[in-house]
Amino acid sequence: MDKFVIEGGLPLHGMIATSGSKNSALPALAAALLTDEEVVLERIPRVRDIRTMQRLLVDIGSEITVDEADPERVVLNTKTIVSPEAPYELVKTMRASSLVLGPLVARAGRARVSLPGGCAIGARPINFHLAGLEHLGARIAQEHGYIEAVAPDGLKGAHVVFDRITVTGTEDILMAAVLAEGESVLENAAREPEVVDLAHLLRKMGAKIEGEGTSVIRVQGVSKLHGATHEIIADRIEAGTFVLAGAITRGELCVSRCVPEHLGALIVKLAEAGVTVTQVDDTTLRVERRIGALGPVDMTTEEYPGFATDLQAQYMALMTQADGISIVTETIFENRFMHAQELMRMGANIRLDGRQAIIAGRSRLTGAGVIASDLRASASLVLAALVAKGETVIDRVYHIDRGYEKIEAKLSGAGAKIRREE
């Protein structure tokens, strides 16, 4: 298992480029199942979750070619659905595998997908995906840990009201609705940029969709979708992580190839804390914190356009360096504070109280051996290590490899001392 060895104390400077969004690329890859024509996806990040999804699609029947000249360009062709199934072995390593459920029922009339089981950050059931499919006319049964969804006569458009906002749930049902007969209305839909990106791809494939980016999405079903070429949006969570890395190290860092408006909530919090984030051009942000103390600023995670839960752990690392007490409230997942214990091993002063973390800064962090528990928790440990005195060894970095492309190379390029050890 790989480890990161990080020597802290160096401010980041220069430029780091953002990769394509993992959480946009995953549903986009699943969407390729909706047509027997060629779908070309560009700016696919080279991270482990994407490779897992590609393996799943190949098992289902897709032919996948990665462009040799441009490995971020992936060509998918699913002439026939050979096996409409997502096995436990894959689903347990990546919950987003359930994104094939909607496309498979819509295209093949049948899907068999393993139930994901528990997760490091919360229970994360997929009941809203299933309820949505049932509304569209699928019959759902559960046996041996698998969900079996069938719609032999095709799906029928329907009114789906999500009990709670769900990102992949909205994506899954949207992908089912585009091939359902008649109109579907998805209410209380997620407004995340990744949902909007998926709608853009589906529209290029011939789907009729209105309202993406709002909480009501209307779909007029079509009988067939065709091939398309689509470039995935920038990864706002990766970009936000680098912005926070610049802030925590008191650096002067530009984060390029991002979409600044996707990071609005983070930029507002950082401004309150005394960190200057300026927009250099349409796709570049510059973060600077060279003088002055960092202010403690409370933060509550929310669905988009609120503060992303996927940046909560990294923000908490920053708040350990603020002068005073800040409260971080996690409202999306019930167990997403695993990083707090590890930050405490590095000298942070954090008290957990249910969904709240009370952080008393400013702590002098020192390097220690720590364990990555999930993707974003790992990123927060990397940030803490970048300011800690001495050497930090982060174990189980396979978690970070799930969603960050070559993070050690990107951070080294900006002046960090970080290396990977096997």
- Nearest distance from C-beta of residue 237 to ligand EPZ, angstroms: 6
Shortest spacing between CB 374 and ligand EPZ, in angstroms: 7
254 included as an active-site residue: no
What does the binding site for ligand EPZ look like in residue numbers (CB under 6 A)? 23, 26, 95-96, 122-129, 164, 166-169, 194, 309-310, 332-333, 375-376, 403
Nearer to ligand EPZ (CB atom), residue 154 or residue 398: 398
Residue 411 identity (one-letter amino acid): L
Q: Of 58, 119, 327, 344, which is the active-site residue?
A: 119
Nearest distance, CB of residue 258 and ligand EPZ, angstroms: 16
Nearer of residues 115 and 325 to ligand EPZ, judged by Cβ: 115
Alpha-carbon distance of 368 to 98, in angstroms, equals 37
**By C-beta, is 98 or 363 nearer to ligand EPZ?**
98
Q: Which is nearer to ligand EPZ, 212 or 310 (CB)?
A: 310
- Provide, rounded to whole angstroms, the least separation between the CB of residue 164 and ligand EPZ: 5
Block residue for tokens 């202010």? 295
Closest contact distance (angstroms) between CB of 310 and ligand EPZ is 5
- Between 374 and 408, whose beta carbon lies closer to ligand EPZ? 374
Q: Catalytic amino acids?
A: 119
